[in-house]
């Protein structure tokens, strides 16, 4: 390869590499957000939006594989409750049903796989249960 051919090929190769790297997302580019930061004590429905932080758009079809709800914000991490995933009300919104046995601070911990991405999106969301 001549010097001239090499000097033309190098910038094109670097541009291709940069575009490929920029197209890949990282699990840190996604986050769960509570639709409401309060819920009623008792049987509660919790809606959570999964968002691509780069575009602010909702991310549909993620696979939620880990979910836990506890009262860690009120220093009662051992106080847990059952949580069940329900059908999604809209693309990018994930719905859960939980029994909030006490008023106070609750933490919803979620783990998910986003289609086409490697790694796990994990968030801990804090909300308040009211009487």
More confidently predicted of 12 and 107: 107
- In percent, the amount of the chain with pLDDT more than 70 equals 81
pLDDT at 130: 97
SS3 42: strand
Q: How far is CA 94 from CA 84, 127, 131, in A?
A: 11, 16, 24
Read off the pLDDT of residues 15-49 as tens digits, 9 standing for 90 and up. 443 433 344 578 899 999 999 999 999 999 999 99
Give the integer Cα–Cα distance in Å for 27 and 52: 9
40: tokens are 């009623």
Beta strand 42-52 with 93-100 is antiparallel
Give the integer Cα–Cα distance in Å for 80 and 122: 18
Residue 7 has pLDDT above 90, yes or no: no
Give the integer Cα–Cα distance in Å for 108 and 80: 10
pLDDT at 5: 53
Average pLDDT over residues 84-109: 97
Give the integer Cα–Cα distance in Å for 84 and 98: 6
Read off the pLDDT of residues 108-121 as tens digits, 9 standing for 90 and up. 999 999 999 999 99
pLDDT at 85: 97
Per DSSP, 21 falls in state H
Q: What is the torsional sign of CA 131, 126, 81, 85?
A: positive
pLDDT at 24: 59
Average pLDDT over residues 44-57: 97
Average pLDDT over residues 80-89: 96
């Amino acid at each position: 390869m001549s010097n001239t051919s090499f000097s033309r090929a190098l910038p094109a190769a670097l541009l291709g590499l940069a575009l490929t790297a920029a197209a890949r997302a990282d699990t840190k580019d996604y986050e769960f957000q509570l639709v409401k930061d309060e819920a009623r004590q008792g049987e509660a429905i919790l809606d959570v939006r999964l968002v691509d932080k780069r575009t602010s758009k909702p991310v549909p079809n993620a696979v939620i594989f880990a979910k836990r709800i506890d009262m860690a914000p009120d220093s009662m991490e051992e106080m847990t409750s059952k949580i069940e995933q329900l059908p999604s009300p809209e693309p990018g919104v994930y719905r859960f049903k939980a029994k909030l046995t006490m008023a106070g601070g609750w933490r919803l911990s979620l783990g998910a796989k986003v289609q086409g991405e490697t790694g796990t999106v994990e968030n801990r969301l804090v909300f308040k249960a009211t009487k």
